[in-house]
């Protein structure tokens, strides 16, 4: 399959799942507009990656920044809504500021981004919106109240756009991964167990993205859930 005529914006493209997605898209011929705060870990940036340093939690500035992207790249025909962060704990352990931060990053920034970029994609009468949700979008969990709330809401947003945009031939999909081996766990008190059956790899999620993009245009993957075969958690 070739993605030569695709220009796809990937949020959180600097590392982890977003980077793996950006890499596979570039490998398949797409041009990638990457959003993150720090791209320094890409030692060599391939020509078809255009990195944009944007802090998605700066919501007052975000709409104008995205308007500029839309003007410069009216041919963006896919968005991978991936940037996000995890924070876990009992609700009272969160400060109001920490709650705002998680909701702003995991949810509101993605909604604002979609709002500014959708008109151009609709005009092209072809495109994909792919949301990286989580297994936390599927069931609530102890210490997961705020994170689950952001991911449940993101899932509702993805499902609604699925209905709203199909007349413009835009396909909206949510991928819900279980534990993926990335720096997501660096500041958390737990991580996946060491055995390779206890985690999925960023490349597995990237492969799912490729399957979604290469499906027959008349077929839409609504949702993909993928999780490690075994689910052993290691506490640090």
Ligand X SMILES: NC(=O)c1ccc[n+]([C@@H]2O[C@H](COP(=O)([O-])OP(=O)(O)OC[C@H]3O[C@@H](n4cnc5c(N)ncnc54)[C@H](OP(=O)(O)O)[C@@H]3O)[C@@H](O)[C@H]2O)c1
| Residues 154 to 173 in contact with ligand X, rule: CB under 6 A | none
Query: CA nearest 127: which of 176, 166, 70, 175?
Result: 166
Q: Measured from the CB atom, is 166 or 189 closer to ligand X?
A: 189
Give the separation between CA 62 and CA 68, rounded to whole angstroms.
Answer: 10
Q: Which helix (H) or strand (E) holds 66?
A: helix 62-72
Q: If DSSP codes are grouped into helix, strand and coil, which group holds residue 95?
A: coil
The pattern of x and - marking residues 38 through 67 that bind ligand X according to CB under 6 A reads x----------------xxx----------
Q: Residue ranges of the alpha helices (H) in 78-178?
A: 96-103, 109-124, 145-164
Give the residue with the Cβ less far from ligand X, 16 or 78: 16
DSSP 136: G
DSSP-assigned beta bridge partners for residue 8: 32, 78
Q: Does 107 bind ligand X (CB under 6 A)?
A: no
Task: Considering only residues 20 through 39, tell me which ones interact with ligand X, judged by CB under 6 A.
Answer: 35-38
Binding mask 64-103 for ligand X (x = CB under 6 A): ------------------xxxxx-----------------
Chain residues that interact with ligand X, rule: CB under 6 A: 12, 14-18, 35-38, 55-57, 82-86, 105, 132, 134, 177, 179-180, 182-184
């Amino acid at each position: 399959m070739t993605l030569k005529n695709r220009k796809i914006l990937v949020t959180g493209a600097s590392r982890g799942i977003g980077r793996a997605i950006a890499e596979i898209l570039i490998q398949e011929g797409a041009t990638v507009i990457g959003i993150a705060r720090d791209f320094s870990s890409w030692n060599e940036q391939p020509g078809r990656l255009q990195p944009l340093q944007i802090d998605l939690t700066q919501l007052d500035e975000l709409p104008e920044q995205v308007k500029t992207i839309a003007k410069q790249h009216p041919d963006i025909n896919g968005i991978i809504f991936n940037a996000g962060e995890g924070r876990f704990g009992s609700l009272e352990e969160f400060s109001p500021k920490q709650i705002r931060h998680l909701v702003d990053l995991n949810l509101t920034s993605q909604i604002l981004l979609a709002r500014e970029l959708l008109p151009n994609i609709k005009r092209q009468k072809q495109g994909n919106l792919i949301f990286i949700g989580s297994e936390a979008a599927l069931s609530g969990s102890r210490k997961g109240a705020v994170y689950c709330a952001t991911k449940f809401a993101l899932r509702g947003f993805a499902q609604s756009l699925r209905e709203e945009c199909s007349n413009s031939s835009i396909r909206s999909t949510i991928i819900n991964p279980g534990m993926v081996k990335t720096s997501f766990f660096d500041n958390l008190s737990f991580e996946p167990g060491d055995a390779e059956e206890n985690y999925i790899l960023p490349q597995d999620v990237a492969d799912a993205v490729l399957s979604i993009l290469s499906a027959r245009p008349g077929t839409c993957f609504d949702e993909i859930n993928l999780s490690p075969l075994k689910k052993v958690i290691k506490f640090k």
